[in-house]
Structure 1
Amino acid sequence: MPYIDSQSFQGIGAQLSIGGVVGTAGALLPVFEITDQAFPEGTWDKLNVSNFNSLNKAKEYRKGMVDFGEMKLKGNFVPADPGQLALAAAFADPQNPYQFTMQYPKAPGQATAGNLYAFNAVVMGFSPGSTLQPDKTVELSVTLQIVSAPVLTAGS
């Protein structure tokens, strides 16, 4: 297929949702007015397994444990938003990971829905009113530590 035009798309319409504690049933609540979201970069620990028999005196490496990374979110603080209230409750929970989804908007070639990512995370940071300035909206800041590999449901 020859390159004709960019297939990029905007993030307007993306939707983060939070569910209950992992392993429990329940509806997902949309978290409204998110303005900035960075999907995390997962990384593997690097294990040096070099030994006296390593070929050509070359170091040998294997993967250790995986870290799925942190998702940083910013948005407009809306005190009555059920999704933001659920984030606050999950932040107050000292140990349990919660269910999340991130619905992407439709990309070119997707007629029904964009890609959907489902993952589990611990809410490690929650700051309502993280910025208070007279000429700006009150900002929400959230940090999610991803604890499971995101599962992709491809859009169509």
Structure 2
Amino acid sequence: DAPLGQLPYLTVDGEKMPQSIAFARMLARRFNMAGSNELEQTRTDVVVDTISDLQNSYYLKVFKATEKKDEVIAKFLSEDALVHLERIETILGLYGNEGFSVGNSLKWSDLHLFDVTSIILTLKADILDKFPKIKAIRKTVESNEKVAAYLKSRPETSF
């Protein structure tokens, strides 16, 4: 029943919308989390795409691994993850301010960063120690009143 035969999808006005980044971007615009002008929106998209590179690497290498999973995880953490985290840290230095990925307010890129790094942290709890900008954004997101309430009440899942 999913439009592309996969999850997630979002139903909006009776229409099923596939592709999570596309509908996240739509929701960000709807709830004023995409950026206040065209340049800020583009910067936010750049940050999201850079984070998505890490997410896609995780899915392709770790999540899909069927054999020698411990070795695959170790290699991912020591190579791919670090390269992507360094790129994210760099782009945050260009566009962000203390605790925000773009500008001075919470954007959907901050939420995306929190989500993707939460998965990576389950593999190695100290992997972000050398990435202070990423850690600052995580702190901003988890201290947001609405996010904190959600995190406190959400069900435990393996994903």
TM-score bracket, normalised by the shorter chain, equals under 0.3
Structure of greater Rg: 1
Q: Which has the higher helix share?
A: 2
Return the structure number with greater relative CO, CA threshold 8 A, min gap 6: 1
Q: Report the TM-score when normalising by structure 2.
A: 0.25
Q: Which has the higher strand share?
A: 1
Q: Report the TM-score when normalising by structure 1.
A: 0.25
